[in-house]
Amino acid sequence: MFHESVIVCFVAIAALSSAAPPPPPSSSPSGEWWRDSFIYQVYPRSFKDSNGDGIGDLNGVTSKLDYFVDLNISAFWLSPIFKSPMVDFGYDISNFTAIDPIFGTTNDFKKLTTEAHARGLKVILDWVPNHSSDEHPWFEKSIKKIKPYDDYYVWKDAKIINGTRHPPNNWLSIFLGSAWEWNDKRQQYYLHQFAIKQPDLNFRNAALRKEMEDALVFWVKNGADGFRIDSIPYVYEDAQFRDEPIVPNSGKPADDPATLKHIYTIDQIETYQLVQAWRNAIDSLGGEKKILMTEAYTSLPNTVKYYEYGSNVPFNFMFVTGLNNHSTALDFKRSIDGWINNIPKGGNYIANWVVDNHDNPRVTTRFGSLRADQNSMLAAVLPGLGVIYNGDEIGMEGLQLSWKQTVDPQGCNAGPERYASLSRDGERTPFQWDTTTSAGFSTSNITWLPVNPNYKTLNLAAQKNVPKSHYGIFKKLVALKSSEIIKSGELQVILATDKVLGVVRRLPNTTPIVLLINFSNDAIQIDASAWMNIPSNMSVYTSSVSSNISLGAHLDTTSLKLNGASAVILA
């Protein structure tokens, strides 16, 4: 989950929290199958519809497993598939151990994991611990104060001012407005840091913690190879429920969370301890190692601290929220160096690079279609793990929907004047497989979100056998990711000029791997050999669609021409 007002750019480097973390992991990374690979995010509603109802489902994903094999990714993770009223399209869960009928059944999930494992693929589930749906039986019992559920959610008495009822404090929801909602039956307010129909769970309650831990274990026993933990910084709040400080002159409406400094509603130390408890519970099951990935839009120090509490992949969102089409080569260098330099020392922690996700405008929207391949190329050449969102591998573009077409609650809550900048529908449109009905996503002409009209020319089938296509390039990037020079080679991030960023990976007695990105919209000619200490003649491993550089071409790096907004990898 995401709201742009709570982003903290990764460029700023600060001291890590003084809270004492647990000891670092063992020096052996044995069994960490996710290393030096790409993980692929699937948004199930929009990936493949198997039954013609216009909504993607688990059997649709199963039917496309060979596509993942062809890409050679290590794993895919599924946005929420649990039982839900779908107010927030699966992020409002009414049963943490059941599959929603929209997506299929538990048997369909077991079939998916069985067939995925047979192909050497891992399956990661999206875990949403901060809240449930208000239609969860726990919440219904909590309203009635039935034990032990009476304390499963965060309830507070009203604040009475001049005889008038007010929320307990000034906390604001990510979806705009007060984070508190009055319940007439219980005669108290409940906390909802997201939608009104998503009441926050109370993790200070031991019984609730056990329920959620048991649900994680349930899915591991049913085939899950790990979890992406949603919105983890929000799970605990200040125990004293103090008002948050007001941001002076924010320029935002009073109902916008950007008007507050979030020091009491996110990043509490108990949150990290909870992740460590989940790590321990999953590890205690034995068997092959399971991955934990944590989604935290927070400061760099707070993000990397998750490494020390059991997260294998504390999502690095610098390409998603910290940088954009106005960022310079220097901005990219500073951000990359900042992340690499702040990964904790003394363990086998690996970097990660999130190219895109379902909560933010697509990379083609944020950086422009000419730079569609750029961040995937960076994720491939930089050390560690790459994370890509379905559709990015073919250069899918965001779609601007009308107010009447908007279904995302974050956009709907913003109203017709503000929805365009807050709705996440544009990046969630159906995957464009081919030129048939609804881009091959569904046999129905009506889909839950409209298909982007550009599917007639922008689709997988059109790119499948074209080496110089987004798809062809991405396949080469995945293959490069697992090479020894990327796994263990020396890293240099270099400003080749003020407009050109260079990344070099080196191993002794081996031709280096060199990535060059032109951040200017104009063509540039540089002596990359002198600036980057690379051979004067190198071959093109791959290049961005916009580069006009042929794959396999031999280039003179002493006089290298790069088109505007283009990128090339040399070997």
Which residue intervals of 77-221 are DSSP H helices? 106-118, 137-143, 206-221
DSSP H or E run through 494 = strand 490-495
How far apart CA 100 and CA 80 sit, in angstroms, is 9
How far apart CA 148 and CA 494 sit, in angstroms, is 58
The question of whether 243 is a catalytic residue gets the answer no
| Catalytic residue (choose from 57, 88, 230, 392) | 230
Cα–Cα distance list, 192 to 39, 48, 134, 235, 237 (Å)? 31, 32, 10, 11, 11
**372 with 335: CB under 8 angstroms?**
no
Residue 503: exposure state from Cβ atoms within 10 A (0-12, 13-18, ≥19):
buried
Picking from 296, 281, 138, the residue whose alpha carbon sits closest to that of residue 208 is: 138
**Any residues with CB less than 8 A from the CB of 339 and at least 6 apart, and which?**
10, 300, 304, 316, 318, 351
DSSP H or E run through 270 = helix 269-283
**236 with 268: CB under 8 angstroms?**
yes
The question of whether 230 is a catalytic residue gets the answer yes
| Catalytic residue (choose from 134, 200, 267, 295) | 295
Please state at what angle helix 374-381 crosses helix 470-481, rounded to 10 degrees: 10
How is residue 295 written in tokens? 């989604």
Residue 69 phi, psi (nearest 5): -60, -45
First to last CA, the chain: 39
Q: Is 199 helix (H, G, I), strand (E, B) or coil?
A: coil
Please state at what angle helix 269-283 crosses helix 206-221, rounded to 10 degrees: 40
How is residue 350 written in tokens? 């690996």
How far apart CA 454 and CA 435 sit, in angstroms, is 10
**289 with 36: CB under 8 angstroms?**
no
Give me the active site residues, please: 230, 295
